[in-house]
Amino acid sequence: MEKTDNINTESRVLLIDDEEELLNILKMKLSSLFSVDTALNGQEALELINNNEYEVIVSDIKMPKLDGIELIKTLNQQGKTEIIPVIFLTGYANRQHAITALKHGAYDMLEKPFDFTVLEKSITRAITHKREMQLNKELLEYLSEAYNLLLELKNSYSERVIAAEDKLLSTGTPDENQLKLILKGNALERKLKGIKEKIKSKYGIILQNVELNEET
């Protein structure tokens, strides 16, 4: 099976299933594509997750000690499902549990028995999704920083621009320096408006994660 560009054996995947034979088979097949760790239940998985960085978690739902539902609830409380996609494997009898897991933020659900290629494609999509979300977050932070810097600059101009506008209105005589100051102030206003609109339209979903100072 061919590897997807930029997704290789350095991409870490955690497999969780209490059926040890199935777990070993999946690890054997996936290890040619990803770096794979395994756990027999949610409790073992949490220890690994808290001590390692994974790009994707693939988990069964019905397991001893800590099942898949409780695992994803715990990950939600820790804020980890925002950065680690979770794919659930489920039997037909556990379909309702899987739907519950999706409501708690699971990325995907595959019903057993499944085609291995389907699992591999789901993992690849999840890794791509995770990296795109990380890139979007970094870009949002960059844009927000640019916005806040422009806002500071605009505020430093504000008093001088207002004074220049008042003088122009009172004298009616254009002054080259005053006009340049007013034009710079107007240009900053347009840049601020453009950046703010771009941030809110493109990154509204994750805007809450980044501080964006509002104009007063």
How far is residue 173's CA from residue 160's CA, in Å, rounded to a whole number?
17
Tell me the per-residue pLDDT of 116-129, one tens digit each, with 9 for 90 and over: 999 999 999 999 98
Query: What's at 27, amino acid-wise?
Result: K
Q: Kindly give, in sequence order, each residue whose CB lies less than 8 Å from that of residue 153, ignoring residues fewer than 6 positions away.
A: 188
Higher pLDDT, 5 or 94: 94
**38-66 pLDDT per residue, tens:** 999 999 999 999 999 999 999 998 888 88
Compute the mean pLDDT over every residue in the chain, rounded to the nearest whole number.
78
- For residues 84 and 107, give the distance between their C-alpha atoms in angstroms, rounded to a whole number: 9
Q: What b-and-e string marks burial along 150-180, b requiring 16 or more CB atoms within 10 Å of the CB? A: bbeebeebeeebeebeeeeeeeeeeeeebee
Percent of the chain predicted with pLDDT > 90:
30
User: Nearest to residue 145, comparing CAs of 210, 193, 197?
Assistant: 210
pTM value is 0.66
Q: How confident is the model at residue 35 (pLDDT cuts 50, 70, 90)?
A: very high
Longest dimension (CA), the chain: 88
Fold of 12-114: Rossmann fold (3.40.50)
What are the residue boundaries of the structural domains of the chain, listed by start?
12-114, 135-209
Question: What is the structure's pLDDT at 99?
Answer: 76
More confident residue, 15 or 203: 15
